Amino acid sequence: MRVGLYARVSTHDQQTLPMQLKQMKEYIKNRKWKLAVEFQEIGSGAKTRPKREELLKMARRCEIDAILVWKLDRFGRSLVDLVTSLNELRTLDVVFVSLTESLDFSTPSGRAMAGMLSTFAEFERDIIRERVKAGIANARERGKSHGRPKSAALKKEKIKELKASGMNNSEIARKLKISRGSVISLLK
């Protein structure tokens, strides 16, 4: 079994990377697996994690058979992201193991846990969706508009003045730093 290790800490101040790697390497040795690649990443809340993406690409290219992480929250950015990644790995027949939670998705109980995580991720998405809808409705009830601010509409009088002075729509748009389409629609 060719294994890819993924270790991550949130900040440079955290000193757990060596500990994570040591424990994961011992686990691989005990299971008689082969270390294929090792990735270390430092960053908190990052939208992209290049090393993680590289590891997933290796899984897609069938260069590794398993991914080993120290803890689930070190791998996923959110529950939804984690479940999406785990589902993709499952379809690729790549085993996923989280050492500290004793989750091994190569076992029946591990796959059952993956199913439960999917259910919770869907629940989380639904709750967030309901909260967003409620927040929008509440804002509208209080008379607050929702969506992108109407910045071009505030310049309607200036647009009319410039048009009357002989400027064309493109010139007006450049001068006021708005789109030509906004100029045209506000002149109608």
- 118 in active site: no
DSSP letters for the chain: -EEEEEEEESSTT---HHHHHHHHHHHHHHHT-EEEEEEEEE-SS-S--HHHHHHHHHHHTTS-SEEEES-HHHH-SSHHHHHHHHHHHHHTT-EEEETTTTEETTSHHHHHHHHHHHHHHHHHHHHHHHHHHHHHHHHHHTT---SS--TTGGGHHHHHHHHHTT--HHHHHHHHTS-HHHHHHHH-
Q: Which of 10, 78, 109, 165 is catalytic?
A: 10
Catalytic (active-site) positions: 10
